[in-house]
Amino acid sequence: MSAAAPTFEQLTAGDVVAEREITLTRDELVRYAGASGDFNPIHYRDDFAQSVGLPGVLAHGMLTMGAAGSVATDWLGTAGVVRDFQSRFTRPVPVDAAAGAILTVTATVGQLDADARTARLDLKVTFDGATVLGKSQMVVAFA
């Protein structure tokens, strides 16, 4: 049974509306590179990444942001539309060849605008206990 669609009226600032762990794998990095055209070798070659001072292969920043945003859009469903989505990339996400990288995403209502019927969702995105996206915010509008 699926959850009921969210409504603007049921929201309160501070509400946690969605939480999920997302595992990024090396296979997903390859697929994302093909889809985005970003073939920087730091995203698929450990030897190259290490030669430029990185711990190993890193997830693409936009892949990390998109994966995090999907937590909020999955919660929203067809109840509204995304008006704005912004993030700052604060830390890289190393993706282990065997274990991948587990992101933890929490979407919280940060602010409501009753006149515009919009909610600002604040996304907390962490990897290994550290925040990897700063000021990650999505504004959604309800009908």
29 occurs within a structural domain: no
Q: Is the pLDDT of residue 76 over 80?
A: yes
Q: What is the pLDDT of residue 2?
A: 54
In a domain, 137, yes or no: yes
**Between residues 4 and 22, the one the model is more confident about:** 22
Whether 49 maps to a domain, the answer reads: no
The pLDDT of residue 143: 87
Which whole number is the average pLDDT over 4-26? 97
Q: Is residue 6 part of a domain?
A: no
Inside any domain, residue 102: yes
In a domain, 7, yes or no: no
pLDDT mean over 95-119: 98
CATH number, domain of 130, equals 3.10.129.10
Q: Kindly state whether residue 69 falls inside one of the protein's structural domains.
A: yes
93 within a domain of the structure (yes/no): yes
Q: Cα separation of 49 and 68, whole Å?
A: 24
- CA dihedral of residues 95, 24, 123, 131 (deg, nearest 10): -10
Please give the residue range of the domain that contains residue 102.
12-24+61-142
Domain count, the chain: 1
How much is the pLDDT for 3? 74
pTM: 0.93
Q: What pLDDT does 1 receive?
A: 44
